[in-house]
Structure 1
Amino acid sequence: MKEEIEAAALFITQLVSQSSQLANLPEDRLQTFKRHLIRLFEERFHNHWFPDRPQRGQGFRCIRLNGGSRPDPLIQKAALETGLEYCDLRLPVEFTMWVDPREVSCRWEIHVQITS
């Protein structure tokens, strides 16, 4: 569980670090954000981790962002604990991550406005 959670937290932290809004965020604050994500994911997934049946609990371990819905509570809490505003994270509008035994996968969309 530890490796998968660390991979998920690293990926989200890298998305945040590439945000134009937070491009100059000091490395120590990024690492603090990542540590908070790891702790929150461990707490949430603790009783929902079944290595012998990876699909069991998969919905509970899904991190879902949707432009029309509220922020993901774990990511929002990690941001607040780090002194960041959730809106400044500039995460993709559509983002889904599954954190499963032996596998972390995600899907996202970036909406780009093209002007002529």
Structure 2
Amino acid sequence: MKREIVAAVHFLSRLIRKLEKQKVEEFAKRLTATLQEKFRGHWYPDNPIKGQAYRCIRVNRPQWEDPELRWACEESRMLFCDLGLPWVHTMWVDPAEVRCRYGDENDAFMV
């Protein structure tokens, strides 16, 4: 689980362009901690698809700010909009695989 979370957080951190390196590192640290806590008990290496929706990081019109991303921002004393992430994207953090999709019509790609 740790390897997949590190990959997801690293990918998201690389998308952040507007902030100082120190702020991005603090955000990454907070996000890593919250994802590890959230995914504990919801990680099924023998059945990676099980719990996939629960482990999804989603930003879209109905829910602009993913709760874990928002929490990491608050803990890092920054605003969600400071991240500058794509407005519509989905990331699935599953055992042995992290995939991302920009928009709702595009194909997902491996992170």
Do they fold alike, i.e. is TM over 0.5?
yes
Larger radius of gyration: 1
Please state if 1:102 is matched with 2:102.
no
Greater Cα shift, 82-91 or 42-51: 82-91
CA contact (8 A) 2:64 2:87 kept: no
Q: Count how many residue pairs are aligned between Structure 1 and Structure 2.
A: 103
DSSP 3-state at the match of 1:55 = coil
Distance in 1, matches of 2:85 and 2:61, equals 10
Name the structure 1 match of 2:82: 88
Hey, what's the Cα distance between the residues in 1 that align with 2:44 and 2:62? 31
Worse-superposed segment, 99-108 or 82-91: 82-91
**Which of 40, 43, 49 pairs up with 2:43?**
49
Q: Please state how far the C-alpha of 1:68 moved relative to its aligned partner.
A: 4.0
Q: Assess if the C-alpha contact under 8 Å between 2:35 and 2:68 holds in 1.
A: yes
Structure 2 unaligned blocks of 5 or more = 104-111
SS of the aligned residue for 2:90 comes to strand
**What TM-score does the superposition give when structure 2 sets the normalisation length?**
0.87
What secondary structure does 2:93 align onto?
strand
| Equivalent residue number for residue 113 of structure 1 | none
How far apart, CA to CA, are the structure 1 residues paired with 2:64 and 2:21? 27
CA RMSD across the alignment? 1.1
Whether 1:61 and 2:24 are equivalent positions in the alignment is no
Q: Give a deviation string over 1:55-89, Cα, whole Å, max 9, x none.
A: 11111001111034241010001011111111221
Identity of aligned residues (%): 43
SS in 1 for 2:65: coil
**TM-score with structure 1 length normalisation?**
0.83
Question: Counterpart in 1 of 2:4?
Answer: 4
Which residue of the partner structure matches residue 34 of structure 1? 28
Distance 1:67 1:105 in 2: 20
